Amino acid sequence: MDKRLFVIGDPIAHSLSPLLHNTMARLLGLPYAYAARRVTVEALPAWIREVRREGYAGFNATMPHKLHLMPLVDDLTEQARYFGAVNTVRRDGARLIGHNTDGDGFARMLAEHGWAFAGARVTVLGAGGAAGAIVRKAVQDGAASVTVLNRTVSKAAQLCPGEPTVHAAGLDAPVPPDTDLLINTIPIQAAPDGSILEGLRRDCAVVDILYAPPKTPLLLAAEARGMPAVNGLGMLIHQAILAFRFFTGAEADDAALARALYRAAETGAD
């Protein structure tokens, strides 16, 4: 079986995924090699044909592919169906199986900081593939309420239709002042500035799922207000651990792996 794994996206040069997955392969003594590949939306069907032709073991996907992959794979796991997006694809014989590790990876990152969705009032900025996974995980884990703010309100409303705890509004709407957890999923060039934090409690946690740069303008503004602020590196690391297990079937001490991956990300060496 081919042991090549990839991450695809556009852009992709900044991705830490090759470093993380190659570190796990080395630590676990598994003969997998993981690389980044720039793939545009237009080239995604050709990429799927290449994966089938070459017999690659699998791949991860980041923006803008998580929604586009849904109809292109042969089957979807329960997680991919529930979260409505695919960020991990594994070869299973001749079939490609779409999976999602974003929601569970995000929840694991929250737990590292002593936070949880259960009982929390959550506000999510953006309504893309990652936002969908986060919103649905919040619902699954028992959030008291989830407010989704997006430029296109109808797109936000589609993330969890019929769920009474989920509310959609425009990006210009105020963040509910009782928010416990504010999560930004909008790319840095379009993300709201620190003024969106006005009126929030100082103990409201602010998470930006971006990890490059390590401190976005939103996180810097949160820190300046004395609010707990975290970037998306932990989400990336924990979803990578779950994805690597999905690719390889290898069991490992997840806490020890996470510590090793944080060190690798800090030093830039696997």
Per-position b or e across 42-60, b if 16+ CB within 10 A of its CB? eebeebbeebeeeebbbbb
The pair of three-digit structure tokens given for residue 85, joined into one six-digit string: 């997006």
C-alpha dihedral sign at 161, 167, 169, 171: negative
Report the candidate in 266, 259, 247, 199 with the shortest Cα–Cα distance to residue 227. 199
Tell how far CA 55 is from the center of its chain: 26
Cα–Cα dist 221/193, whole Å:
8
Bridge partners for 98 per DSSP: 76, 89
Q: Could you give phi then psi for residue 152, rounded to 5 degrees?
A: -100, 105
**Residue the block writes with tokens 């594994």:** 90
Give the pairing of strands 58-61 and 88-92: antiparallel
Question: Which is the catalytic residue, given 66, 137, 155, 215?
Answer: 66
Distances (CA, A) of 133 to 67, 100, 106: 11, 8, 9
Do you find a cis peptide bond into 64, omega within 30 degrees of 0?
yes
66 given a catalytic annotation: yes
Mind telling me the catalytic residues? 66
